[in-house]
Structure 1
Amino acid sequence: MESKRQQKHAKLLQKELGDIFQKEAKPLIGKALVTITRVMVSPDLSFAKVYLSFLLADPKALFDVIDAHKKEIRHDLSKRIGKSVRIIPEIAFFPDDSAVYAQYMDKVISDLNIPPAPPEEEEQEEDED
């Protein structure tokens, strides 16, 4: 479980990285929308796992571009938070597949063939209430 300090640091990183992707990284990502879905920080605050979600772009190609430019992104981050934190964490980016998984589960559930309950069972349930 993360400490309050880790959670506070993770929120700061999430906010600042989100701003970087919205404003400063536009030449890097183009018209794509990059969302920071989650940030997990190590107990010593020197390492951060950043989970990214993508819209309007090929996720694999865009993830590779972002991962290749993580030094520049970390540098932009250091310019923003350098005065308020002691250590600028090393950043590891990971694709967030939760939206894809949610779509898959939604499809599985909608494809289930569940027959309607027989009328006599419904009447018994109403009588019991």
Structure 2
Amino acid sequence: MPINRVDRLNSLLKEVISDIIRRRVKNPVVSELITVTQVKITKDLHHAKVYISIIGDEKVKAETMDALDKAKGFIAVQASKEVVMRFFPSLTFILDDSVEKHMRIENILNQIHEDERKRGSKE
């Protein structure tokens, strides 16, 4: 199977799953500050890893991930109505903390630059 087909499916599933989580999952535990950052479907199209970014503390993240895990059947059924495939992949939700890591790195770099400016003004 050509790689571009898998890439297109990943992109399409990302949009569809994101929309379903925002509009149709009615669990109050699911944080409103949630983003589907990436979907990686296997080559056999039977499994998909859905990477989720959540803004909030660890408790909010854990509760949201647990609620999504419980709702994955519902999400898969709703998504299968919009994305026609012979077999709809089983979904696995994975917490994506790359945004937070990036923000921490940015803060550290900003602090380093600030310290360099302070040292430069003292000399």
TM over 0.5: yes
Residues 42, 26 of structure 1: alpha-carbon distance in 2 compared, 3 angstrom cutoff: same
Larger Rg: 1
Root-mean-square deviation (Å) = 2.4
Moved over 4 A (4+): 28-31
Residues 98, 30 of structure 1: alpha-carbon distance in 2 compared, 3 angstrom cutoff: closer
Identity over the aligned pairs, expressed in percent? 25
Name which of structure 1's ranges 99-108 and 26-35 shifts more when overlaid on structure 2.
26-35
Residue 26 of structure 1 and its aligned partner are, at CA, apart by: 3.1
Is 1:73 the counterpart of 2:51 in the alignment? no
| Aligned residue in 2 for 1:26 | 26
> C-alpha separation between the residues in 2 aligned to 1:90 and 1:17?
12
Residue 30 of structure 1 and its aligned partner are, at CA, apart by: 5.3
Contact preservation (8 Å) 1:34, 1:54 = yes
Residues 43, 67 of structure 1: alpha-carbon distance in 2 compared, 3 angstrom cutoff: same
Residue 111 of structure 1 and its aligned partner are, at CA, apart by: 2.0
Where relative contact order (Cα < 8 A, 6+ residues apart) is larger, the structure is 2
Q: How many residues align?
A: 115
Residues 40, 30 of structure 1: alpha-carbon distance in 2 compared, 3 angstrom cutoff: closer
Unpaired segments ≥5 residues, structure 1 = 118-129
Contact preservation (8 Å) 2:31, 2:64 = no
Residue 21 of structure 1 and its aligned partner are, at CA, apart by: 1.1
Counterpart mapping for 1:1-129 below 5 A: 3-27=3-27, 29=29, 32-55=32-55, 58-81=60-83, 84-112=84-112, 113-114=115-116, 115-116=119-120
Unpaired segments ≥5 residues, structure 2 = none
> C-alpha separation between the residues in 2 aligned to 1:41 and 1:116?
51
